[in-house]
Amino acid sequence: MSVYLLYGAYFGWDLFVRALQLQSSKWAGLRSVLDLGAISRVVELQFGGGWYLWLVLAAGWMALGKERELLLPAAVYFVVLVLTVDERAVYGWYRLPLYPYLCLAGGMFLAAWWRERDISRGFLFAATALAATLTYVLPVAAERNRWIVLLVFAIPCGSALWQRLRPSPFSKRLQAFGVALSLAIFFLGNAAIVMWQVPIYLREGFRAKVPRPAEGMQPPVPSAGVSPGGPSPATVAPSSP
């Protein structure tokens, strides 16, 4: 604390006090907890939500195991950040110190899934990380396809379900193949996203800023006597006092 005060005195006490006043005017709140805990951002744009959600869930799973102490620095940083950040401006770079610990948890999750090859981890991986990867890497026409959605869950979970219903040496090998294929799609898809990250980022930014009506829907037709901007002043009844 004394070093911090000396730092302020060296650069100018008035400026130091003013900076502290500005910091204390931030709106700290529970929205910051929800933002940092569940939303992935690049600066302000929400991007990679499925990956981030999977990593957070993997960290929660890791926190219940023997390696929970490894997550202590991330937990301390998270608490300090939500107590000091302004909930109106939770930028993406605030999450950067969390990523090494989240990725460690994600790696342990994948290692456990590779050993167990269970349906529960496969379903969780498909609904978060794998879905996010294919959302960004596939063309729009392929992304909006029920068969693709079914395939996302069938590859990680179908062979494991078959192994539970009809256990055999063949179904066991098929189960291992399902896990390997899921990981191959995930890593190769993410490599493609890295190569095409600029156009993908611009596309997602355009989607976030320009809402698009659902396909096949037409704007409502105004009724007779009503202008497109709303009813005319002559037809609006005066409000009661």
Q: Is residue 4 part of a domain?
A: no
Note whether 5 and 13 are within 8 A (CB): no
Whether the per-residue pLDDT at 233 is higher than 80: the answer is no
If asked whether residues 139 and 166 sit together in one domain, one would say: yes
In a domain, 74, yes or no: yes
Instruction: Give pLDDT tens digits for 24-75.
Output: 666 777 778 887 887 777 766 777 788 989 999 999 999 998 889 999 999 9
How far apart CA 19 and CA 44 sit, in angstroms, is: 24
Residue 108 lies in a domain: yes
Q: Quick one: residue 166, left, alpha or beta (phi over 0 = left, psi -120 to 50 = alpha)?
A: beta
The count of structural domains within the chain is: 2
Q: Fill in the amino acid letter for 217.
A: M
The C-alpha atoms of residue 55 and residue 49 are separated, in whole angstroms, by: 10
Shared-domain flag, residues 31 and 97: yes
Residue 73: both structure tokens together: 């620095």
127 and 202 belong to one structural domain: yes
Whether residue 164 is contained in a domain is answered as yes
Domain assignment of residue 132, yes or no: yes
User: Distance between terminal CA atoms of the chain?
Assistant: 60
What mean pLDDT, rounded, does the chain reach? 80
Residue 57 in any domain: the answer is yes
C-alpha to C-alpha distance for 50 and 31, rounded to whole angstroms = 20
Q: Is residue 18 part of a domain?
A: no
Q: Are residues 126 and 99 in the same domain?
A: no
Residues 92 and 63 in one domain: yes
**pLDDT tens string 141-184:** 888 889 999 999 999 999 899 988 889 999 899 999 999 999 99
Instruction: Provide, rounded to the nearest whole percent, the portion of the chain with pLDDT above 90.
Output: 39
Residue ending a domain, choose from 113, 145, 180: 113
Q: Does residue 83 share a domain with residue 47?
A: yes
pLDDT more than 70, % of the chain: 79
Q: Which two tokens stand for residue 212?
A: 């698009």
Q: Which structure tokens are listed for 209? A: 């800023």
- The per-residue pLDDT for 31 is 79
Can you give the residue range of the structural domain that contains 74?
Answer: 27-113
Domain end position, chosen among 91, 113, 135: 113
**Integer CA distances (angstroms), 12 to 6, 17, 94, 189, in order:** 10, 9, 27, 51
Backbone angles phi and psi of 46, in degrees to 5: -70, 120
Contact predicate 50/186, CB 8 Å: no
> Does 124 lie in the same domain as 75?
no
Do 164 and 119 contact (CB within 8 A), yes or no? Answer: yes
Rg of the Cα trace of the chain? 25
Asked if residue 129 and residue 77 are part of one domain, the reply reads no
pLDDT over 50 at 239, yes or no: no
9 found inside a domain? no
Q: Which residue has the tokens 């079914």?
A: 150
**183 DSSP assignment:** H
